[in-house]
Amino acid sequence: MFWWRTAALLAGLALLSLLLQPFFGWVATLAALVAGLLAILGYHLRNLERLGRWLADPTPEGVPESWGAWEIAYGRLYRLVRSQHKSQRMLSAALDRFVAAGEAMPEGVVVLDANDRIEWCNPRSMQHLGLDRKKDLGQHIAYLVRLPAFQQYLTAQDYGQPVILRNLTGSETTLSVQLVPFDSTRKLLLSRDITQLERVQTVHRDFVANVSHELRTPLTVVGGFIETLIDIPEMDPATRASQLNLMHEQTRRMQRLVDDLLTLSRLENGVELREDKIDPEQMVKLLASEAQGLSQGRHTVCVEVAGEGGLRGNYDELHSAFGNLVSNAVRYTPEGGEIRILWRVEDGQGVFAVRDTGIGVDAQHIPRLTERFYRVDRGRSRSTGGTGLGLAIVKHIVQRHQARLEVKSEPGSGSCFCIRFPANRMLDAREMSAAK
Ligand code: ADP
């Protein structure tokens, strides 16, 4: 195309000169031919100059426009630059997306070069490893993560498993850090905060140890008595009866423990909450009569109910939670003490409370009372039939009802365990009467 256009131009010029020759003679014709050639040269030089200027800032919009051979060249140049710009835009958008994804990752990511120097890192890695993106780029990772466990891991070059790093930045966090080689020279350093996971594992281990311990004692007692009964078949009836009684007591203890464990497991599995319309006054009266049954006349049991309306929640679960608080009050209040069971409505919120004049709890124990198997006085808890799981069950039930457990206690003077229900769990008198 280029050659065709150039040849056509030159041929046109030659033809024009030949046509002019008969009229103006050879000298003028040659002069016109030279002038024509100079004009063509000028056109090329001018376009070369425009091309040079455009190359200084080669945008698709800035590609010069012309005619003839240069029109073709500029047209191709325009298409080339436009497609390059398009793929550049796509590449940089892909890169932006990749960087944004890296920044948003919940795990720490550091890109290390062939010499283990930091090329890039995301905010989470800065938080995990205490890096500073402004200062630390280009620094050797071993200068910044100085724990011996990490240094050994880095030099051993066996990156199949992660390394566990504890208390790296002075905080009590535990990190799982793994190096992943890629693109033949670089490495990715991935860090994950496993503090919570470790805590859960510890709680789980302690729980299994506690359950085993709790079951072992009654099992040993029962096993011992059974052996005696086998060894001495002619045992006198009074001793036999007393041993059978003790065995019965121990099996009841195991039964209570297993029942509480099953309740706890059901609650922790988050079974759906069936909701009933509960009449607090009726519930409080029922709890008071149960408290009297447990107390066997050793305590004064009082009831206080103030406020209209009802409560939306699971009857069985709330009966069990309130019942646990009442039974604790009876068990941890010496003879002659008072147990007060209260229900009132405060600022639209429902408040259930059990107040006793018992042995109380020292402030340091209060935050841990709802932990499984946490007891202030192990002996007293066991001797009164406690499993150590009562308040853990209460905590779960309270949470399932979006309520709050508040504990106030004074050693020697008594305790108040209070459950505060949110306003949206309260039912007015009209809604309650519709339930009847
Ligand atoms: P337990 O079966 O041991 O009673 P809980 O989970 O019900 O287990 O209670 C945990 C611990 O909290 C008890 O061992 C006891 O030390 C303390 N506690 C609970 N309620 C009371 C209370 N009303 N007065 C004094 N201490 C209490």
**Residues 115-172: pLDDT tens digits?**
999 999 999 999 999 999 889 999 999 999 999 999 999 999 899 999 999 988 777 8
pLDDT at residue 427 greater than cutoff 80: yes
CB proximity list for 230: less than 8 A, separation 6 or greater: none
Does any ligand 1 atom lie closer than 6 A to the CB of residue 311?
Answer: no
> Residue 155: its pLDDT value, please?
92
pLDDT digits (tens, 9 = 90+) for 293-316: 999 999 999 999 998 889 999 999
Contact 323/287 with Cβ under 8 angstroms?
A: yes
pLDDT digits (tens, 9 = 90+) for 375-415: 998 888 888 888 999 999 999 999 999 999 999 999 999 99
Does any ligand 1 atom lie closer than 6 A to the CB of residue 332?
Answer: yes
- The SS3 of residue 309 is coil
Q: Minimum mean pLDDT among 217-221, 351-355, 389-393, 423-427: which range? A: 217-221
Give the strands of the sheet with 349-356, arranged side by side: 300-306, 338-346, 349-356, 414-421, 404-410
> Positive or negative CA dihedral for 49, 50, 53, 55?
negative
pLDDT at residue 228 greater than cutoff 70: yes
Q: Which of 214, 359, 375 to mutate to test the pocket of ligand 1 (most atoms within 8 A of CB)?
A: 375
pLDDT digits (tens, 9 = 90+) for 279-292: 999 999 999 999 99
pTM above 0.85, yes or no: no
Contact 143/115 with Cβ under 8 angstroms?
A: no
End-to-end CA distance of the chain: 97
pLDDT digits (tens, 9 = 90+) for 45-101: 999 999 999 999 988 889 999 988 888 889 999 999 999 999 999 999 999 999 899
Give the strands of the sheet with 276-278, arranged side by side: 276-278, 310-313, 426-427
The CA–CA distances, whole Å, from 2 to 7, 11, 67, 72, 215 equal 9, 14, 11, 7, 98
Q: Minimum mean pLDDT among 76-85, 232-241, 341-350, 427-436: which range? A: 427-436
Q: What mean pLDDT comes out for the span 186-193?
A: 95
pLDDT at residue 435 greater than cutoff 60: no
Average pLDDT, the chain: 92
Angle between helices 237-268 and 195-231 (to 10 degrees): 160
Q: How far is CA 180 from the centre of its chain?
A: 24
Helices (H), 276-413: 280-295, 315-331, 378-383, 390-400
Q: Which of 326, 330, 332, 394 to mutate to test the pocket of ligand 1 (most atoms within 8 A of CB)?
A: 332
> Residue 18: its pLDDT value, please?
84
Task: Name residue 378's amino acid.
Answer: R
- The SS3 of residue 60 is coil
Does any ligand 1 atom lie closer than 6 A to the CB of residue 390?
Answer: yes
Give the strands of the sheet with 108-112, arranged side by side: 118-121, 108-112, 186-193, 174-182, 163-166
Does any ligand 1 atom lie closer than 6 A to the CB of residue 377?
Answer: yes
